[in-house]
Structure 1
Amino acid sequence: MEKNISEFIEYMQIEKNASKMTINAYRDDIDHFQSFLQSENVMNWQEVNYGIIRHYLTLLYQDGLSRSSVTRHLSSLRSFYHFLMRESIIEYNPFKQVQLPKAEQALPEFLYEDELQPLFEISDLTVPLGQRNQVIVELLYACGLRVTELIQIKIEDIDFYLDTLYVIGKGNKERYVPFGKKAADILKMYIEDGRELLMKKSDEHNFLLVNQNGKPLTSRGVRYILNKMVDDACMTQNIYPHKLRHTFATHLLNNGADLRSVQELLGHSKLSTTQIYTHVTKDRLSQIYRSAHPRAQITKNRGES
């Protein structure tokens, strides 16, 4: 059984070109299932049937896993069994009989404009690291970037003539994202001043964002910087890079942008992924309606004094 798992992992690496994170998730899910089978005295993949799978799912829920985590387990095992069928190791895929549980759809957290403002006022733009920090929050919010996209930006990816960024997103999907005057101003300042000073401590490279030693900034570094900025600004909100991406999308829709345009700006492959933000904007509209419309406001009953 272990040999089959190793062959599947190799298949995912070579033929599917899956990321290291994806491969590790598959490996963990399949190893967990294999341990379960051994505890049930099931010694090969062929013996697995619908009843065994249902029992396994019950145990996952009893262990406190969310529906989204259970869905991931099922997806991993379904893909693994599809591979086993392709290699003629098994005759049928019992996971095809199992419907994926409907995942919870948590609404994305976002910030209102006044809540966000202190984050843009805390950096000292007279020093290199302050300029860099301002670039980070400007690009996360002004362009709705994922943190992994942000750290991959190179100097040549910035077009100041058209005020656009060339971005490589999930699945190496390419897109161009516009940015405004405030982002353009701080980018120029940082590239011409702060970054030049920081790069004196490092070998030459083209990555836009660098640490205090001039080396390319990491995702962890961005999160650390953002947390420190929040603390320095005495903000009470929990702010993380993806929350600024959520805020970017929500503010666009609240101010009249159409869903297709927001989808393109975010780099979503499917419109359904972007549609979750309409729930946020609808909730906001409902709040405005309830607070502003005379027939929607809560009033005292006539019998009350």
Structure 2
Amino acid sequence: MNWNRYIKDYQSYLRIERGLSKNTIENYGFDIERLCLFLEVNQIDVSPLKITDETLQQFIYEIAKEVNPRSQARIISGLKSFFNYLIFEDYRNDNPLELIESPKTGRKLPDTLSVEEIDSLIAVIDLSSNEGERNRAMIETLYGCGLRVSELITLKISDLFFEEGFIKITGKGNKERFVPIGKFAQRYIEIYQKEIRSNLVIKKGFEDTLFLNRRGSQLTRAMIFTIIKSLAEKVGLHKNISPHTLRHSFATHLLENGADLRSIQLMLGHESITTTEIYVHLDRSFLKEVMYSFHPRK
């Protein structure tokens, strides 16, 4: 896995360029070694340049069973610093811990939007602009299909199977899955394609890409974040939301309405059911309600 080289370089960086103490540097190194041990025990052969947020979520879920919230927050902070260093040195172009928040008391759970809040986000979209029709289709697809932002921006027209009620998603590791798509998302996509996309001058290489910017090329992840943040401000939502918030909400609403975890796992494209358990952040009040509704000894 070749972690040692990167760990040593990182520790040199902390000592020489940041001037941190020996103890602090050792603690940072210990956090990374703990992650390496987790990978070894679970036979996950991956380098620090290729490790994904899902694997790190699984690791954090495991350490949450062993350490208190304060220690957990420190470990997350240390790992974030390590991956920021890899970005700084141009080894990676993203931090896989970017969307994982440190806990304040207990594990920090992501914000989830209610159906009413999602409806309000879509309602404030200005449909008089070309971008408005596109944004409505994108928001509905993100929430309606539970997509990652990277899956949304790379979605192809050739991946739409509306007659069958599915779209084909190419997820992490180029793994493909079919996800059901609802009538709202289908209708908004069709309107966007017919009224907006068909009038764009499309750049070479993006002829099959569904959602395009005004210059006819693929949207960036940052642009999707900006669109959603802007809509949240218009609505007056005081939650820290992102494209992942819609994915969390998709999974949570399915669970609350009776869907089983295995089905949610398949739709989200998680390799491990453990990741899905973290993702939908099962709350105790809902579990108690399920027990009282279905257990014979309630």
TM-score by length of 2: 0.65
Q: Which one of the candidate residues 217, 220, 229 is aligned to 1:218?
A: 220
Aligned AA (1:109): D
Aligned to 1:155: 157
Aligned to 1:200: 201
Which stretch has the larger CA shift, 205-214 or 182-191?
Answer: 205-214
**Aligned partners of 2:215 and 2:231: how far apart in 1?**
19
Could you say what secondary structure the match of 1:32 adopts?
Answer: helix
After TM superposition, the structure 1 = structure 2 runs for residues 172-183 of structure 1, keeping only pairs within 5 Å, are 172-183=174-185
**Aligned partners of 2:185 and 2:120: how far apart in 1?**
16
Q: Which one of the candidate residues 99, 110, 113 is aligned to 1:111?
A: 113
Q: Contact 2:251 / 2:280 at 8 angstroms: preserved in 1?
A: no
Could you say what secondary structure the match of 1:275 adopts?
Answer: helix
Q: Contact 1:157 / 1:166 at 8 angstroms: preserved in 2?
A: yes
Could you say what secondary structure the match of 2:167 adopts?
Answer: strand
Q: 1:235 to 1:109 in 2, by over 3 A?
A: closer
Could you say what secondary structure the match of 2:196 adopts?
Answer: helix
Q: Which one of the candidate residues 188, 191, 202 is aligned to 1:189?
A: 191
How many residue pairs are counted as aligned between the two chains? 227
Q: CA deviation at 1:146?
A: 0.7
TM-score by length of 1: 0.63
Q: Which has the larger radius of gyration?
A: 1
Aligned AA (1:220): A
Return structure 1 stretches of 4+ with deviation > 6 angstroms.
77-80
Unaligned runs of 5+ in 1: 1-6, 10-25, 39-54, 81-99, 290-305
Aligned to 1:133: 135
Q: C-alpha deviations, 1:162-199, integer Å up to 9, x for none?
A: 121111111221101111110010010011111122x2
What is the root-mean-square deviation of aligned Cα atoms in Å?
3.7
**Aligned partners of 2:38 and 2:284: how far apart in 1?**
36
Aligned AA (1:102): I
**Aligned partners of 2:139 and 2:14: how far apart in 1?**
45
Unaligned runs of 5+ in 2: 41-59, 65-71, 73-106, 292-298
Q: 1:180 to 1:27 in 2, by over 3 A?
A: farther
After TM superposition, the structure 1 = structure 2 runs for residues 1-305 of structure 1, keeping only pairs within 5 Å, are 8=2, 29-34=7-12, 59-60=24-25, 71-72=31-32, 74-75=34-35, 102-103=63-64, 104=72, 105-197=107-199, 199-200=200-201, 202-203=203-204, 205-277=207-279, 279-284=281-286
Q: C-alpha deviations, 1:202-238, integer Å up to 9, x for none?
A: 4452111111222110101111111122223333322
Identity of aligned residues (%): 35
Q: 1:184 to 1:35 in 2, by over 3 A?
A: closer
**Aligned partners of 2:252 and 2:290: how far apart in 1?**
15
